[in-house]
């Protein structure tokens, strides 16, 4: 079952959302759905004791903290 959600964004958030949609070639809703899927993975992995990070080659160059 699908549901509809109404959300208000400030000007900066709207600009970022528009830019992301343009870069990804999708709609703002598509960006939010992708973000939700990524956050779902991050939370699941965090609960399993894993970290989320940015990897370049075989090196972790940045660890992302605060996702629980």
Cβ contacts of residue 12 below 8 Å, gap of 6+?
none
> In which residue are the tokens 């990524």 written?
38
67: closest CA among 42, 41, 33, 37?
A: 42
Distance CA 53, CA 28 (A): 25
CB 56 within 8 A of CB 45: no
| Structure confidence by residue, pLDDT tens digits, 6-65 | 999 999 999 999 999 999 999 999 999 999 999 999 999 989 989 889 999 999 999 888
The pLDDT confidence band at residue 67, using thresholds 50, 70 and 90, is: confident
Beta bridge partners of 60: 55
pTM of the model: 0.81
């Amino acid at each position: 079952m699908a549901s509809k959600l109404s959300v208000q964004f400030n000007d900066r958030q709207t600009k970022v959302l528009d830019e992301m949609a343009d870069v990804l070639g999708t709609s703002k809703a598509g960006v939010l759905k992708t973000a939700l899927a990524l956050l779902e993975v991050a939370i699941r992995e965090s609960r399993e004791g894993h970290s989320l990070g940015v990897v370049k080659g075989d090196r972790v160059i940045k660890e992302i903290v605060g996702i629980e």
